[in-house]
Structure 1
Amino acid sequence: MKITAVIVEDLSVAAEVLERYCIKSGRVQVIHRFGSVEEALPFLTEQVVDLIFLDVEMPGASGFDLLDKLSYSPQVILTTSKTEYAYNAYEYNVTDFLKKPFTYQRFLDSLGKLRDEAERKEETEEVSHIYIKSDGKLIRLENDDILYIESMGDYVKFITNEKKIITHNTIKNLTSKINPAVFCKVHRSYIINMNKISDVRENMLYIKGTMIPISKANRNIVMSRLKII
């Protein structure tokens, strides 16, 4: 089965090269090309893809802004002419960093780093717990004990029925590591346990009396996961 992908690249020549390489590889089906984050975001809010070829510097929002707004974590191959974004690429847990201009062989090397979707699901969906580092120790948290996770800049706060635990991490990094069958990113600052929602009102949801915002970009994803009868 081919990998489904989109290309987000403002330079048409660079986008054409990428699409030509995808076709030549026989492994990647490009289902759409976009020239900006603003064009890509509505599509990616509704459509889940396996892979995004993503430029960093574009008119308007940057490639990293797009990753901040997505409610799921596709694999990402960054394409940019500047090596200074390599650290950010690591922070966003991207699959690879392609420095322009790149050869077809280098492109194939990137594809070789992609994980099989079944492998990715197995890594997360069977996990019933996570370990987080706090106060110099590793703390085990069962998925069912976590109500929600809240961003605090360079830190995140795990909220359970009994306690609050703060650890050095980011919402973006956690999105690719937690069980997607249990958790959902509802806002750039919040990941929630879908099983803990008590009610939803307009663009807010409530967990144990706490009001949590649902961003416009994430609302459709959240509503599609609710068992509405």
Structure 2
Amino acid sequence: MKSLKIYIVEDEPIIVSTIETSLKKHGFSVLGDSDDALTALKDIELLHPDLVLVDIQLSGTKDGVDLAILLDEMKQPYLFLSSQTDPDTIKRVKQTNPLGYIVKPFTETGLQTNIELAWHNYQTQHSDILEFKSEGRLHRVNQNQVLYLKAFDNYCYIQTTTKTYLVPHTLKHTSEKLNQNLFIKCHRSYMVNINHIDSIGSNKLLLKTESIPISASQKSIVMSKLKGR
């Protein structure tokens, strides 16, 4: 699996250090940590982690469940990591949508296994949904509706069947989220959905609504993939 970018929300410095050491040992990337919900929220919006580990007992007026409600609104994947298993806490947790609940104390192997299984299940369920931010809003688009992606300096355009979005990430970064069975690079500046290709010209791919360039070096690769469908 890819090196997950993880953010830790935990109010015990020793536990933060233990988690961080364990995560890095198993190839995960730790983007940062905080001990309160408000700081965590600001960091998460800035850093865009793949996954957030959330303790329930935090510093400040808001606890981990309050944070989880906000993460649900942001469509941000997270796991609870807590020693609290009392009925009242569990009742509140049931109102949220975590990928899982890891009970403290945990083992290094248990932490790794829970994260990998939770992320695998999340990826399986969301494999055909592309999530991205455009103009300050989070969008979730079925990848079947995406025609192509086009590079634009450090940004890229996502062209769907109905709308064009400008995304504040490079083509390379955004394409990592795509279903690789659906999309293929046809030009250094383009990724195309092969299900929308009608025909291949000498230097263009003809889609149902428009055409995009295809480089000579990628032409045979695209044709081979189309034949394999």
TM-score by length of 2: 0.50
Structure 2 counterpart SS, 1:91: coil
The higher relative CO (CA closer than 8 Å, separation ≥ 6) is in: 1
Instruction: Determine if the alignment matches structure 1 residue 122 to structure 2 residue 127.
Output: yes
Contact 1:52 1:76 in 2 (8 A): yes
Matched with 1:62 is: 63
Q: Which amino acid aligns with 1:109?
A: T
Structure 2 counterpart SS, 1:77: strand
TM-score by length of 1: 0.50
Contact 2:54 2:64 in 1 (8 A): yes
- Relative to structure 1, the CA distance from residue 123 to residue 86 in structure 2 (aligned partners, 3 Å threshold; closer, same or farther) is farther
Matched with 2:83 is: 81
Q: Which moved more, 1:29-38 or 1:42-51?
A: 42-51
Q: Deviations over 1:33-70 (max 9, x none)?
A: 11111211112223321101111011221112112223
1:46-61 aligned at under 5 Å gives the runs 46-60=46-60, 61=62
Q: Name which one, 1 or 2, has greater alpha-carbon Rg.
A: 2
Matched with 1:72 is: 74
- Counterpart-to-counterpart distance in 2, 1:31 and 1:114: 19
- Counterpart-to-counterpart distance in 2, 1:106 and 1:121: 24
The Cα shift of 1:103 comes to 0.8
Structure 2 counterpart SS, 1:7: strand
Matched with 1:20 is: 21
Matched with 1:94 is: 98
1:35-46 aligned at under 5 Å gives the runs 35-46=35-46
Matched with 1:175 is: none
Structure 2 counterpart SS, 1:181: strand
- Counterpart-to-counterpart distance in 2, 1:29 and 1:114: 16
Q: Deviations over 1:190-212 (max 9, x none)?
A: xxxxx8xxxxxxxxxxxxxxxxx
- Counterpart-to-counterpart distance in 1, 2:56 and 2:102: 11
* Alignment coverage as a number of residue pairs: 131
Contact 1:96 1:113 in 2 (8 A): no
Matched with 2:33 is: 33
The gaps in structure 1 that reach 5 residues or longer are 126-178, 183-194, 196-229
Contact 1:95 1:113 in 2 (8 A): no
Contact 2:23 2:112 in 1 (8 A): no
Contact 1:95 1:114 in 2 (8 A): yes
- Relative to structure 1, the CA distance from residue 112 to residue 90 in structure 2 (aligned partners, 3 Å threshold; closer, same or farther) is farther
1:133-212 aligned at under 5 Å gives the runs 180-181=140-141
Contact 2:8 2:52 in 1 (8 A): yes
The Cα shift of 1:83 comes to 1.1
Q: Which amino acid aligns with 1:2?
A: S
- Counterpart-to-counterpart distance in 2, 1:24 and 1:66: 27
Q: Which amino acid aligns with 1:115?
A: W
Q: Which amino acid aligns with 1:81?
A: S
Instruction: Determine if the alignment matches structure 1 residue 109 to structure 2 residue 122.
Output: no
Contact 2:9 2:34 in 1 (8 A): yes
Q: Which amino acid aligns with 1:122?
A: S
